[in-house]
Amino acid sequence: MEIQVLDPARVDEFVAVFRAAHDVDHPQDPAYALRHEALRILNPTPDEPITHFMVLEAGRIVAGAHLRVPELDNTHSVFVEIIVDPDARRRGIARELWDFLTARALGLGRKLVLFETAIGGAGEAFGRSINGEVGILDARRRLVVDTANLAVAAELKAEALTHADGYELVSYVGSTPEQWIDGVAYLVGRMSTDAPMDGLDWQAEAYDANRIRMQEAATVRQELTVFSTIAVHTATGTVAGFTNIGRAVDDGTNVHQWNTIVDPDHRGHRLGTLIKIANLEQARQREPGIGAVWTWNAVSNDPMIRVNEAMGFRLWDHWGEWQVRL
């Protein structure tokens, strides 16, 4: 077995291993988006450099790993992902990759390793075998975009509007308009302080307009379509709420909910509900084939879970955000 930095010319072979694992580990999930994953690997965001490693046996890729290194904040940590081809499992490859990645992390002066796995499968068993701790338990939910749920959304929006006098909704696709960029950056930064972190050793993230622009540029290179909606307090021009969802280039049916946040000074006006529904509306107008929205929340995030379940999101599975101290 040989571990090498990924040769970009072999990225299609690399992501094929990830698809094979996905098909075995998550057979009920949407199909693995091969082109999206290849583009994501080839076009990372510069704020968190990432190195990809391939494991070779007789010249064939049998496993892969990612090592992501935050540089603007949380510089005590790294993120890792390890995937082994189902045909090559139970031979100690994952453990060898883990030892390799943790040695790299220590060499970078990092003392905390973070990773995610589904609860109830091989990933959870591996996490426990290396003395991992679940810092956040997440619940993944799916919204089926059908006539019944769209009718519910319309009712929720109409009711929420009665609480939102003095606010304007602005929806856009792609890059954030310049007049709103600082407000969006402020709210995205608050995602790491306002959303529950439970037991995860994670500190406030440093966001400004430049970081948002770096991430937006990366999504263009990754051929992601990003739909965003903000709530603006009309009296002050403050960006009071922000939400966005993304669609991969090779998945016209599923979209993924990313951030949703409302400034604490503007809560109590149903803005979270309003921006999520308005954003789904603009996404469907541009992409009428959207059939499902996927979202993740810490199980402790009761306010956002209430909003999601009112819209029709239903529990799909649970995931752990794990941490191991080196």
Q: What is the mean pLDDT of residues 306-323?
A: 98
Q: What pLDDT is attached to residue 164?
A: 98
- The two structure tokens encoding residue 145: 């975009």
Alpha-carbon gap, residue 159 to 162, rounded angstroms: 6
Q: Nearest-CA neighbor of 262 among 227, 233, 298?
A: 233
Question: What's the pLDDT band for 44 if we cut at 50, 70, 90?
Answer: very high
* Interval 69-88 mean pLDDT: 98
178-225 confidence digits (pLDDT tens)? 999 999 999 999 999 999 999 999 999 999 999 999 999 999 999 999
Note the pLDDT of residue 271.
Answer: 98
pLDDT number for residue 274? 98
Return the pLDDT at 166. Answer: 98
pLDDT score for 60? 98
Q: Residue 24: is it exposed, middle or buried by C-beta count within 10 angstroms (0-12/13-18/19+)?
A: middle
pLDDT at 220: 97
Alpha carbon distance, N-terminus to C-terminus of the chain? 25
- 297 near 313, Cβ under 8 Å? no
> Which pLDDT value is given to residue 47?
92
Exposure class string for 281-295: b at 16+ Cβ within 10 A, else e: bbbbeeeeebebbbb
Confidence of residue 257 (pLDDT cuts 50, 70, 90): very high
Alpha-carbon Rg for the chain in angstroms: 20
pTM for the model stands at 0.96
Instruction: Give long-range contacts, CB 8 A cutoff, 24+ apart: 242-247.
Output: 242/183, 242/184, 242/187, 242/188, 242/275, 243/272, 243/275, 243/276, 243/279, 244/279, 245/279, 245/280, 245/283, 245/293, 246/219, 247/283, 247/287, 247/290
When pLDDT is averaged across residues 110-130 and rounded to a whole number, the result is: 97
Report the pLDDT value the prediction gives residue 45, as an integer from 0 to 100.
93
Q: How many residues are given for the chain?
A: 326
289-303 average pLDDT score: 97
- pLDDT tens-digit map of 83-113: 999 999 999 999 999 999 999 999 999 999 9
Adjacency order of strands within the sheet including 133-144: 2-5, 50-57, 60-68, 77-84, 112-118, 314-325, 133-144, 292-298, 254-262, 238-247, 225-233, 167-173
The rounded mean pLDDT for the chain is 97
